[in-house]
Amino acid sequence: MGRLILSFFTVFFVLLSSIACGGGGGDDSDLEVTSVPTEGSKETPTQSATIEKEPQASVIDDPELLALLNPEPIPERQPTNFDLIDDAFESGDISEYQAMGLRLIGGYEPEKLPSEFQSEVFMPRSNFQLAVKWLNENWDTLDPAAQAELLPYHVLPDDPRSYANQPDTHAGVQFQFVNYTTACDSSTPWTSITATVPGNPDAIPAIPERNALIHYCRGDATGEQQAEWIRDAFIQAYHNHSELMDTELDEDVYIFIEPMTEYGHEDMLNVDGTRRSVIGIRHGLDERYTKTTTAHELFHSFQEMFGMRYRTTEQIWLAETTAVWSEHFVYPDWNSEHLYLNGFFEDLDRKMVGDDGNREYHAYPWYLFLTQWLGYDEVIKEIWETQERRTVREAIMDHEYWDVAFHEFARWNWNQEPVQHFEDNPEFPGDPIGTESYRFYVVLPDEEEEVPVILEGLSMFYYSMVIDDFVERVEIRFEGEGNNQHRRQALVRVDGTWHLEDWTNMEERVFCRNWEHEEVEAIVLIYSNSSWDEIISENFTIDTTGFCEAQWRGYTKVTSQYKFSEAGTELTISGDYTVHTVKRRWEFVTNDLLVQDEEGNFKVESLFATYESDRTEEVNYERECSLLWEKDRETVWGSVHLDYTNEDWQPTRFKVVFNDEDEPIVLILNPSASSEDYWITRRINKEKLDQSCIFAWKRSHWTDKQLRYDKKAGYHKNQSIEIDEMPVDQISGVINVPLEIDCDICWVTIEYDYSYR
């Protein structure tokens, strides 16, 4: 047998000369293999003397790669008048009382601010709301002089003493209150219309009728039109909010169309003998912003039913992020909330929970993501219920899904191929490129660069690496493994196609670019930190020095598509006709480094595997009413690096089979590698969608569990390969595996390609 094995390997495994990676020259004469292993032995190619050459110029003309390297920078954010006020307060130049008073002026008449707080930059919403609530909460503690000065902002707009009804003679020494805009005067008094949401006295408990009294100046055509828009918006938003939050407002709402700069505000005030929500809407807004601002401020009214507190950073952040999200919830196609997306993408590298720089408004996509990822909007209600009895920080973070969700959020926020997951009509615009949370690198041959990573809690960062054409080997090294809170995800482009890898538990990832499936063109490395205050501080290294040893390397890819449909009564209700459809697609790729044992078999020394799949099951019922259809959707993805170098056992990828004359006649391909290890992080999103004549709902759950390597879908029986069908220097081919089941579309393909280079 020994003689035959020797004969087999000297004939069948004649190994190719290979250029080693690195060097930057890209010429075959730079490196040569000085020995070729036989009889299953391993030898390392040595680097011979080289003649230095002028570096070749690399031209990158791929539009997608050019976009990574030429980001259009977002203009530096200029401070608003509220930022200037906040800076003065934080530095101790003004008191809290002065800061709040200046914020009130900034929201109502910013042109009246002292010059040092003037700004041409306008934000539709800001911490003006904080000043409104602060004034009413602290009114009784202010001294008489302060009360007199701030009285125009404390009373309702239809009060003669209000800023909205003052002539242009009022002036305050401390705040320069001058030249008030008059909303209504004695000849055009305030008037109102009523919006009514019908109640249901027969419900248990009974649902009361709820009204909004909408005030505007009589004779003001603009105000009258806005009042009608507000009436429609109140009725629609009230229905949406009360159903979502499963509660009703306990009193009617008063709404005023005010001559202010801020888009809106809301507070709970004692009016007409009871404590009720009072809302202000900016005079002159168009229909879209009048209605969406009404939805926003009315959501604050519902937050009041859950004991909303509006003082700490976390409280303000929760109140405003969910209120901005409610604009999308009520008017999903109007996209008024997109006003904040530039700020959102700019702030990804900062702690998500904050109230400076308008982050309490910018961060609303967290709740857009959460409701879409979990699959149900009621998570918003659950968070507000939690904050009633626990801290807001716990309400935001203390969930079993938190860590997984935050890192998924970081991936979604790349918001371009291959992760465009946000659902918004017609699109969810923007991405991190060009912001402070993005860095790009052109990866050149024969270089080594250490990249520092400093990432505060609840933040994320994006590193793009575009690989020069003449780079032959890329190694990304990390100082240590990550964990559930500190994760590293990578979007990797090979042959024009992006795929996702999880590098959290890896200390290095190496690409030999002269190998199929390792011809990496670009990498987007996503760091994310889901801890509240723990900082990530580490380095990673981009290394293109050295070379890839000549080895047996290659890949096995198993892909499958399955579609089954039937029409009949097996799954029907009361014998009604139905169509049942199941669709499934998956792809499993394992990139291997192989070694030969004494028997001539190929063992897997190390591998990097990726997996992704999706499955949809749908049942359509043909009925006049009741249940019309159901739909289940599941997606799974993951990746793993396994190293068997120091193991007593290594899985077999190709097994040699001999005939009676001890001649090698067959190789048996084992697609699964037969490992019993837990190997992959399993990410599953399941959505349950049901539709009837009068209602629809979507439910979902996720799991973050490890999946056994040998249980992976796509493992099939060993496949035999005739030796005389293969080139002597390569093992490659495609096998189509029939499925012994009835289906419309069902196939599995095993593609393999291994060679010595």
Beta bridge partners of 445: none
The CA distance from 621 to 576, in Å, is 7
What pLDDT sits at residue 177?
34
* 3-state per-residue secondary structure call for 369-385: HHHHHHCCCCHHHHHHH
pLDDT computed for residue 625 by the predictor: 56
Tokens for 288, please give them.
């879209």
> In a 3-state reduction of DSSP, which class is residue 697?
strand
Whole-number pLDDT of residue 3: 30
Residue 14, pLDDT score? 26
The whole-number pLDDT of residue 468 equals: 94
| DSSP reduced 3-state for 189 | coil
pLDDT for 167 equals: 53
pLDDT at 624: 58
- Is residue 127 a contact partner of residue 104, using CB atoms and an 8 Å limit? no
Going by C-alpha positions, the residue among 394, 359, 530, 542 that lies closest to residue 459 is 530
> Are 702 and 683 contacting, i.e. CB atoms less than 8 angstroms apart?
yes
3-class DSSP state of 125: coil
Taking the complete model, does pTM exceed 0.95, yes or no? no
pLDDT at position 705 is 54
Return the SS3 of 113. coil
Q: How far is CA 492 from the centre of its chain?
A: 17
- Is the Cβ–Cβ distance between 478 and 506 less than 8 Å? yes
Q: Which amino acid is at 374?
A: L
Sign of CA pseudo-dihedral 261, 266, 270, 272: positive
The three-state secondary structure class of 332 is coil
Sign of CA dihedral 466, 470, 473, 477: negative
- Could you tell me the mean pLDDT of each successive run of 10 residues in the chain, 757 residues long? 31 27 34 28 34 53 91 86 94 94 90 90 88 94 93 91 66 35 64 95 86 94 96 97 95 95 94 95 96 98 95 96 98 96 96 93 97 87 95 92 92 94 94 96 96 97 96 94 93 92 90 86 98 96 92 88 73 58 86 87 88 80 59 76 84 85 80 55 54 52 52 54 65 80 80 86
Identify whether the C-beta of residue 305 lies closer than 8 Å to the C-beta of residue 247: yes
> Which has the closest alpha carbon to 126: 319, 356, 374?
356
Q: State residue 612's pLDDT score.
A: 84
The closest of 219, 237, 221, 331 to 279, measured between CA atoms, is 237
Judged by phi (left if over 0) then psi (alpha if -120 to 50, else beta), residue 90 lies in alpha
What structural domains does the chain harbor?
Answer: 17-72+431-547 (2.60.120.290), 81-399 (1.10.390.10), 552-756 (no CATH)
Q: Among 50, 21, 17, 19, which residue's Cα sits nearest to residue 547? A: 21
Name every residue whose Cβ is closer than 8 Å to that of residue 359 and which is 6 or more positions away in sequence.
Answer: 317, 343, 347, 350, 352, 353
Q: Are strands 730-737 and 745-756 parallel, antiparallel or unpaired?
A: antiparallel
**DSSP secondary structure code for residue 415 in this structure:** -
Residue 204, judged by CB atoms within 10 A of its CB (0-12, 13-18, 19+), counts as: exposed
Phi-psi region of 240 (alpha: psi -120 to 50; beta: other; left: phi over 0): alpha
Closest-CA residue to 300 (of 272, 286, 281): 281
State the burial class of residue 391 (Cβ atoms within 10 Å of its Cβ: 0-12, 13-18, 19+).
middle
Torsion sign (Cα): 194, 200, 206, 207:
negative
pLDDT of amino acid 169: 34
